[in-house]
Structure 1
Amino acid sequence: MMDNSQPVEVAIAILYSSDRFLMQLRDNIPGIFYPGHWGFFGGHLDPGETPEAAVKRELWEEISYTPPWVSKFGCYSDAKVIRHVFHAPLTVEVEQLVLKEGWDMGLLTPEQIKAGHCYSQKADQVRPIGTPHQQILLEFIDQGIWTMASAARQK
């Protein structure tokens, strides 16, 4: 039986391509965190697994993608969850990814992220961005990390 008094640990990824960010539209299933909301790809750490290993495993399991590298952005905690946040470039076209978990995926613009919602063609609806995901991504955008990483790779 799971101890509900302890927060769960997850590893999640901010994946970026140019000036857009890949996000997952989570399944609209009651009982999961942020059902029907846009969020990051990633998931729970397995026992004894490092956050970095978990985020790489989850990206492969959820979209069949292995980034060239991942870098830690930060750790965000509340009473229910500890989020280990990584960032990495998306080096393939979205059409090359295989969505194995979630309702939809898409590249969201900073404007959509600031607005807090985005249209999903598969859902045929405008769906909200999960509040913690939006806050983390806005902080990431404000710091300009992805633009520095992109510029360094192009040299």
Structure 2
Amino acid sequence: MSQQPVHVAIAILYQKDKFLMQLRDNIPNILYPGYWGLFGGHIELGETPDVAVKREILEEIGYNLPPTVSEFGCYGDDSVVRHVFQAPLLVELNQLVLNEGWDMGLVTSDEIHQGQCYSQIAGEVRPLGPVHQRILLDFMKKGIFNG
């Protein structure tokens, strides 16, 4: 019997021409350990994706998503269905509190194309999660943000 995929809600948070990303903890038993990814997480039982993404972003970085948050798309595979939302990041990086992950930063479109970004905390260049990179490349192609 095949296992049902996990549903998660993640957010593309953009500021000018940069995107807020989380450097995931370097723990071997999580998906993409030590990779850059988008903020978000599991959708709880009975929760809708739009409610989940707001809760997850608040839990992970202490940021209340603006009312302008909207669904960007859905990316699914055998193990994970990612409900992707988009919203502008309306505060400075130093106003956010990283409660989950190793590091966070505003990643440039060049770094997204290269698939890697330097982390001050890790002290090295770390790769972007392939799915997260694809989502951001799709987002940039659509030209929704004013970058």
TM-score by length of 2: 0.97
TM-aligned CA deviation for residue 5 of structure 1: 0.7
Unaligned runs of 5+ in 2: none
**Secondary structure at the residue paired with 1:146?**
coil
2:28 maps to which of 12, 27, 30? 30
TM-aligned CA deviation for residue 79 of structure 1: 0.3
TM-aligned CA deviation for residue 4 of structure 1: 6.8
Q: Which of structure 1's runs of 4+ aligned residues deviate more than 2 A?
A: none
Query: Which residue number in structure 2 is paired with residue 153 of structure 1?
Result: none
**How many Å separate the matches in 2 of 1:54 and 1:4?**
25
Query: Which residue number in structure 2 is paired with residue 88 of structure 1?
Result: 87
Unaligned runs of 5+ in 1: 151-155
**How many Å separate the matches in 1 of 2:125 and 2:14?**
21
Question: For 1:6-155, what aligned pairs fall within 5 Å after superposition?
Answer: 6-69=4-67, 70-147=69-146
**How many Å separate the matches in 1 of 2:20 and 2:119?**
13
Deviations 1:112-133 (A, max 9, x none): 0000000000000100000000
Deviations 1:80-122 (A, max 9, x none): 0000000001000000000000000000000000000000000
**How many Å separate the matches in 2 of 1:13 and 1:6?**
22
Deviations 1:54-98 (A, max 9, x none): 000000000000121210000010000000000001000000000
TM-aligned CA deviation for residue 146 of structure 1: 1.3
**Secondary structure at the residue paired with 2:86?**
strand
**Secondary structure at the residue paired with 1:11?**
strand
1:5 maps to which of 3, 27, 51? 3
Aligned residue pairs total 146
TM-score by length of 1: 0.92
**Secondary structure at the residue paired with 1:141?**
helix
| CA RMSD, 1 decimal | 1.2
Structure number with higher helix proportion? 1
**How many Å separate the matches in 2 of 1:49 and 1:140?**
25
Counterpart amino acid of residue 61 in structure 2: I
Percent identity between matched residues is: 64
